[in-house]
């Protein structure tokens, strides 16, 4: 069985996050009408951060595929900036918010 390349998996994850976001906004919930709307929930904030992160991952993969083999120094410099943005976003936003969300969930679960 052939393995699926990571680029295909990242595109699939990005599309799933975007579809969840669209369906989440389509559901009428009483909390959407209050102050802060859905942005006051950590799960929604984490969903948006993860969708943006995987969007940057897909953009990085496409850029690396398009600039492969070209000797253009400017394109390689831009690609390095994009990779550092991806790494920064994982280290500062995506991973800590996701871990904090799971920690809060398990704390509530174990409290019962």
Domain contains 23? no
Best mean pLDDT range from 21-25, 46-50, 85-89, 97-101:
85-89
26: which DSSP letter? H
What is the arithmetic mean of pLDDT over 27-50?
Answer: 74
| 55 falls within a domain | yes
Confidence of residue 13 (pLDDT cuts 50, 70, 90): confident
- The residue-averaged pLDDT of 31-59 equals 79
Terminal alpha carbon distance of the chain: 44
In a domain, 34, yes or no: no
Would residue 46 count as lying in a domain? yes
Establish if 25 belongs to a structural domain. no
Q: pLDDT digits over 2-11, tens only?
A: 556 777 888 8
Number of domains in the chain: 1
Whole-number Å distance between alpha carbons of 112 and 107: 9
Residue 80 lies in a domain: yes
More confident residue, 87 or 104: 87
Query: Looking at the whole model, is its pTM more than 0.95?
Result: no
* 56 located within any domain: yes
For residue 47, being part of any structural domain is answered with yes
- Per-residue model confidence (pLDDT) at position 1: 42
pLDDT value, residue 4: 63
**From CA 79, how far away is CA 68, in angstroms rounded?**
10
Q: DSSP labels for 38-89?
A: GGGSHHHHHHHHHHHHHHHHHHHHHHHHHHTT---HHHHHHHHHHHHHHHHH
Non-local (6+) Cβ contacts of 20 within 8 A are 47
Domain span at residue 74 reads: 39-111
């Amino acid at each position: 069985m052939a393995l699926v390349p990571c680029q295909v998996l990242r595109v699939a994850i990005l599309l799933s996050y975007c579809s969840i976001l669209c369906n989440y906004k389509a559901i009428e919930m009483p909390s959407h009408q209050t102050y802060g709307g859905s942005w006051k929930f950590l799960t929604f904030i984490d969903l948006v951060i993860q969708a943006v992160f995987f969007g940057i991952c897909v953009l990085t993969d496409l850029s690396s595929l398009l600039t492969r083999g070209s000797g253009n120094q400017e394109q390689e410099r831009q690609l390095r900036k994009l990779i550092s943005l991806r790494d920064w976003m994982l280290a500062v936003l995506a991973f800590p918010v996701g871990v904090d969300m799971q920690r809060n969930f398990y704390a509530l679960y174990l409290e019962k």
